[in-house]
């Protein structure tokens, strides 16, 4: 679907009877295309299971599709229910995106881009300026008639950002989807051991710079991740954590979509935190404290 996106960019111009340039907002529009597909064209590659999550999140938010090159997941709005104090999700459709975008975000209640107004950030400041000064922003054609010299502008940079955003969203059966990161397992520890804090294994979609690469496992390494997490929990004395390990699981429907290699993609994490964890697993809470104090006093 083709959508006309209103946007603004900044230009430096020299006005009549002036020597120095000044920055001005310039209004413009560009037509972009959001690609549309049918659900059967892009199959589900991963499904994240977690019994603690609401049913809606387990079936919608946690389905990740693969088109052969990119991963996609439903781009939804969170809906607050005041009656029973719950949060649900609601799909956003491409017709709504087109209407909100081409109207310049008319009646949009937020000051930033959202699922139903993904390009609003490229126009919001211009809209605020027009409302504040009660005047319409000029186009380049109009400004060229008024200024003595057009010095430069950032139009190309803004257009690049708009087109990058357009490539990051698609419509599947009219519902909006966004690019997704590949799911993976991570083993994390909290506190000083002996059930103070605990050990956990969860699903994530990014690498934490503080966590060592050896704590990450691909979607195909569920058993290895569970085994590693249980060993860590035993070494730390986190007996209460063991029964919960493995609750989060990635169902892999398309093995060819697994591209990650944590040992190559990630680093060794935070050296100080790693040393404390080594001390905890070797000698319990006291071991962790000794390592921490030793590092601080050096």
Using only C-alpha atoms, the chain has a radius of gyration, in whole angstroms, of 26
267 and 195 belong to one structural domain: yes
pLDDT < 70 positions in the chain: 51-61, 80-88
Cα–Cα distance list, 125 to 62, 130, 132, 160, 178 (Å): 34, 9, 10, 18, 25
Q: Where a domain ends, among 179, 198, 225?
A: 179
Q: What size, in residues, is the chain?
A: 298
Give the residue from 179, 197, 216 where a domain finishes. 179
- Give the domain extent around 99: 2-179
Q: What is the 3-state secondary structure (H, E, C) of 139-179?
A: CHHHHHHHCCEEEEECHHHHHHHHHHHHHCEEEECCEEEEE
At 271, give phi and psi (nearest 5°): -60, -40
pTM of the model: 0.86
Q: How far apart are CA 298 and CA 296, in angstroms?
A: 6
- Write down which residue in 145, 162, 179 finishes a domain: 179
What per-residue confidence (pLDDT) applies to 60? 46
Number of domain units in the chain: 2
117 and 142 both lie in a single domain: yes
pLDDT digits (tens, 9 = 90+) for 89-112: 788 999 999 999 999 988 888 888
Say if residue 120 is in the same domain as residue 209: no
Question: Does one domain contain both 175 and 202?
Answer: no
212 shares a domain with 77:
no
Residue 30 is predicted with a pLDDT of: 98
100 and 236 fall within a common domain: no
CB 120 within 8 A of CB 100: yes
Task: Say whether both 104 and 170 belong to one domain.
Answer: yes
Ramachandran sector of residue 110 (left: φ over 0; alpha: ψ -120 to 50; beta: rest): beta
pLDDT digits (tens, 9 = 90+) for 118-164: 999 999 988 888 877 777 899 999 999 999 999 999 999 999 999 99
């Amino acid at each position: 679907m083709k959508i006309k996106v209103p946007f603004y960019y900044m230009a430096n111009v020299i006005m009549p009877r002036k020597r120095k340039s000044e920055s001005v907002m310039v209004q413009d529009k560009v037509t972009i295309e959001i690609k549309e597909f049918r659900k059967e064209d892009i199959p589900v590659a991963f499904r994240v299971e977690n019994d603690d999550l609401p049913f809606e999140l387990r079936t919608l938010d946690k389905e990740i599709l693969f088109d052969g090159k990119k991963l996609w997941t439903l781009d939804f709005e969170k809906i607050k229910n005041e009656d029973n104090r719950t949060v649900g999700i609601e799909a956003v459709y491409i017709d709504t995106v087109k209407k909100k975008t081409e109207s310049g975000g008319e009646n949009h209640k937020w000051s930033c881009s959202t699922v139903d107004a993904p390009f609003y950030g490229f126009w919001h400041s211009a809209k605020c300026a027009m409302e504040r000064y009660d005047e319409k922003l000029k186009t380049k054609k109009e400004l060229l008639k008024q200024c003595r010299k057009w010095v430069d502008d950032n139009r190309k940079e803004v257009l690049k950002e708009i087109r990058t955003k357009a490539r990051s969203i698609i419509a599947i059966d009219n519902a909006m989807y966004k690019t997704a990161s590949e799911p993976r397992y991570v083993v994390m520890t909290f506190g000083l051991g002996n059930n103070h804090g605990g050990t956990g294994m969860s699903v994530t979609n990014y690498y934490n710079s503080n966590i060592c690469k050896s704590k990450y496992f691909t979607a195909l390494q569920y058993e290895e991740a569970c085994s590693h997490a249980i060993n860590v929990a035993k070494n730390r004395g986190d007996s209460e954590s063991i029964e919960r390990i493995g609750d989060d699981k990635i169902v892999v429907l398309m093995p060819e979509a697994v591209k990650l290699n944590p040992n190559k993609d990630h680093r060794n994490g935070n050296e100080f935190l790693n040393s404390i964890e080594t001390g905890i697993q070797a000698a319990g809470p006291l071991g962790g404290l000794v390592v921490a104090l030793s590092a601080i006093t050096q």
